Amino acid sequence: MTSFRRILLLALVCAPPILAADQLTGFPFQNETLRYRVHWPGGSSLGDVTMSAHKADGGGWDFDMSATLAIPVVPISDSYKSAASGADLCSSTLQREISHGTKKVSEKTEFDQKTNQAQRRTLVPSGGGRSEFALPTCGRDALTFQYFARREMGQGRVPPAGKVFFGSGYEVKMVYTGAQDVPVAGKPVVTDHVNVSVKGPASDFTFEIFYARDAARTPLLIKIPVSIGSVSLELVR
């Protein structure tokens, strides 16, 4: 269950150019809130994931993600908040509030882009300690990275492979495979299909993202492999 949780929450860790006629709504053009229904293989609902992006003072962005999943024995109720500054969306903070059954963890990571260092502090449970780690140029947390990826794809570029941070550091690589139809509200929709590989201290997996061909490159569907099939996150319109 720990491995599945890590994969699911990280997942929440090239496309054609924008057409002039595209309606410029959603990130990075406006504030945005997207809601996803999470389905177990076979179709039964596990819960919901909500992701939001809000413009911040000074030209940066604030990102939020919450997940409520009714997984037997270990229900999940997590929330994540990150802030990014500058045109390159370099992370400044990441806060994680984790609730898995009776386990509660709160931690905050502060990114110092000038010195390429980050400090991670465990707030709950008390006495959890702190650690420091090195950052690449313009280090990004996993939540910020997925918005950065959307912006890059909207400009016709696949984000370069590199390290992103979600507690630990993870090597992430995105590979655009071409157009693929997915059902949306019972009708086939042409999407841009991307395979995302993630490798970390205790993780090595690949999941799929299907992006709408709108200017915002809105994720319509995410598929995460599990032993009996795929868990899917489907955008709720």
- Indicate the number of domains in the chain: 1
Q: Answer for the pair 209, 233: CB distance below 8 angstroms, yes or no.
A: no
Residue 146 φ/ψ region, left for φ over 0, alpha for ψ in the -120 to 50 degree band, beta for the rest: alpha
pLDDT digits over 130-176, tens only?
999 999 999 999 999 999 999 999 999 999 999 999 988 999 999 99
Q: Tell me the C-alpha distance between 17 and 15, whole Å.
A: 7
pLDDT at position 11 over 80: no
Mean pLDDT along residues 35-44: 92
- Residue 88's pLDDT is what? 93
Range of the domain at 208: 2-235
Whole-model pTM: value is 0.88
* Residue 71: burial class (beta carbons within 10 Å; 0-12, 13-18, 19+): middle
Question: DSSP assignment, residue 1?
Answer: -
